[in-house]
Amino acid sequence: MSRPAQLVLADRCRIHPKSMFYGLAPATRDAPREEPPPPPAVSTSNDPAMTSSVEPRPSGVTASAFHPVSRRQRRRPVDLSNFLPPHVQGMSLSERQDMFRRSYMQAVEPNFVMPRAPLPTAPASRSSADSQSAVRPLAADDMTSVLSNAKEILWFNPFLNARQKAAVKRILEGKSRPLPYIIFGPPGTGKTMTLVEAILQREMETVPEELHPFSRSSLDVVEAVRRRICVTTCTTAGQIYQAYVREGHFTHVFVDEAGQATEPEVLVPLCQAKISVDTQLVLAGDPLQLGPVLSSRYALAFGLGISLLERLCGLPCYQRNEVKFSNHGFYDPLLVTKLVENYRSHATLLSLYSDAFYAGELLPRGSNLDRLASLPFLPKQGVPLVFHGVRGQDLQEENSPSFYNPAEISQVYFYLNDLMNAGISFEEIGVVTPYRKQVEKIRQFLSEFDVPLPKIGSTEEFQGREYPVIILSTVRTQPELLEIDRAHTIGFLDNPKRFNVAISRAKNLLIVIGDPNLLRCDRHWLGLLKKSVSLGAYTGSPLENVEALLEEAVDEDDQIVGIEVVER
């Protein structure tokens, strides 16, 4: 009998937004620590998920205008007109907004900070000799592929498809060790179900075959399995190091949603859990969806925006090879399994992101996905897609750099009303928009009508979720202000990962509301707009030069095929 399995199942660590620190590179244990700079004096954003500090402009603004106030004081309306400089007091609201944009882009220097929690354990991981032996093989460039015949497996989930079962078998064989095994799971392909099956099968390997018919219902075995599996976040896995477990105690380490965690976060369970070169590491995720959420441009510049999963996918041994591995989904079967059977989206919706990001390889396998394809308000019956062109205006308030679009808010309400009249509950609807101010305005507008609120949030909040109906509000209409979005990595334009996540959340119906003349400037939105027009799914404001739009080609060099490192 093989030794009892010990597993770590780690998920990305979700940190409270107020748990922050200054500085990026952690010091070693022996190096002196530098004192952090003083705390910020004022926040320039009302977004609770983003904290920033600013230095006041040297234009005569008195220090009293920047005094912090308590939470109770912030709840009361405060008249700040007496604190404004003389040259601002006589300005109209629109003039103040223009001045705010200029000052925000030119005179104010945001200093973002990132979560503290993942990094205190990183120096210990980096300096440990045992950890170094486990980390070095991750940089290997090549490996010989030798497949073996796996024994017959009694599946816990008999509904797994062929590629999911193949991934489980290869994990059990452990032929990729010491290199990590990657489950490349595009949206809705069941990568988490594959991980669960692999964990359960690894436990069955510890039970003699003659006891299998009796062990699965035994309460004692269930209790033993619970004790042999440790489920934790990446960061809290560092506490295992303090338990003084022996090296090689964990036979397998599974990291789900590995593409959303920074590399230091993933290294915590790898290095602190006393793994050895015989430990099988499995990373499940999608490098073509949103990666780690970072607000600091310094963190992005030094590579923290690239997850370990995404970096490994750039190595030669993990890359797509259509000649060498034509019989194994174009990837080395010892190292990568790409799941292609999608159980989430309608075939029309699936093709939107399958063609743009996954070489058109995703196959529709879901059931009952046509139930909303014949709603009366659809531009084309049988096509569960709506691209509603709106010529609105993106606005800002004086106290926030975020944008909102009143015309799109009204259109969101009209579609929610149509959906409700069609018998669709608000629990089945998700409203996605990239700007916090648009989220607030939509909630305020809907609350005035005393109706239940659907899920309304940013793209990051919807990653990993799915809804029968998704409504996208893109907000932006002014090309000259897109530089703000690029500088602060917000918005849908010039962000293929955010675009991919946004359009892949819908199961039965996708409704896009935005300005087509602006969105067509982005190659991915251009592809979506062209497909909407060709399917007869476009409505709203008239399009200019439709013939030229349909003939406009998308740059093939910009297409993302298979696993690639997406440039930021």
Tell me the torsion sign for CA atoms 299, 484, 464, 504: negative
Helix (H, G, I), strand (E, B), or coil: what is residue 153? coil
User: Is residue 546 classed as helix, strand or coil in its secondary structure?
Assistant: helix
Task: Check: CB of residue 239 under 8 Å from CB of residue 194.
Answer: no
Q: What is the pLDDT along the chain (568 residues), one digit of tens a residue?
A: 444 444 445 444 433 333 322 222 333 334 444 444 554 444 444 444 443 334 444 443 333 333 444 444 444 444 545 545 555 556 665 666 666 555 555 544 555 455 555 555 554 555 554 444 544 454 444 443 333 444 678 899 999 999 999 999 999 888 888 889 999 999 999 999 999 999 888 766 655 565 555 454 444 434 433 457 788 888 888 777 666 667 777 888 999 999 999 999 998 888 766 677 788 899 999 999 999 988 788 888 888 999 999 999 999 999 999 999 988 889 999 999 999 999 999 999 999 999 999 999 999 999 889 999 999 999 999 999 999 999 999 898 888 888 899 999 999 999 999 999 999 999 999 999 999 999 999 999 999 887 789 999 999 899 889 999 999 999 988 887 777 666 666 667 778 999 999 999 999 999 999 999 889 888 899 999 999 999 999 999 988 777 667 776 655 444 443 444 333 3
Indicate the SS3 state at residue 525: helix
Domain boundaries, the chain: 162-203+218-339, 347-551
> What's the 3-state SS for 159-211?
CCCHHHHHHHHHHHHCCCCCCCEEEECCCCCCHHHHHHHHHHHHHHCCCCHHH
Strand partners, 429: 469
Helix and strand element counts for the chain (H, E): 21, 16
Six token digits for residue 105: 């882009």
The CATH code of the domain at 347-551 is: 3.40.50.300
Report the C-alpha gap between 77 and 79 in whole angstroms. 7
pTM above 0.75, yes or no: no
Q: How far is CA 3 from CA 188, 301, 309, in A?
A: 35, 45, 29
- CA atoms of 527 and 514, how far apart (whole Å): 15
Same fold, 162-203+218-339 and 347-551: yes
HEC string of 456-511 equals: EECHHHHCCCCEEEEEEECCCCCHHHHHHHHHCCCCCCCCHHHHHHHHCCEEEEEE
- Which structure tokens are listed for 425? 């509950």
Selected from 3.40.50.300, 3.20.20.70, 3.30.479.10, 3.65.10.10, the CATH number assigned to the domain covering 162-203+218-339 reads 3.40.50.300
* Structure tokens that stand for 280 in this block: 């099988």
Residues 331, 337: contact at Cβ < 8 Å? yes
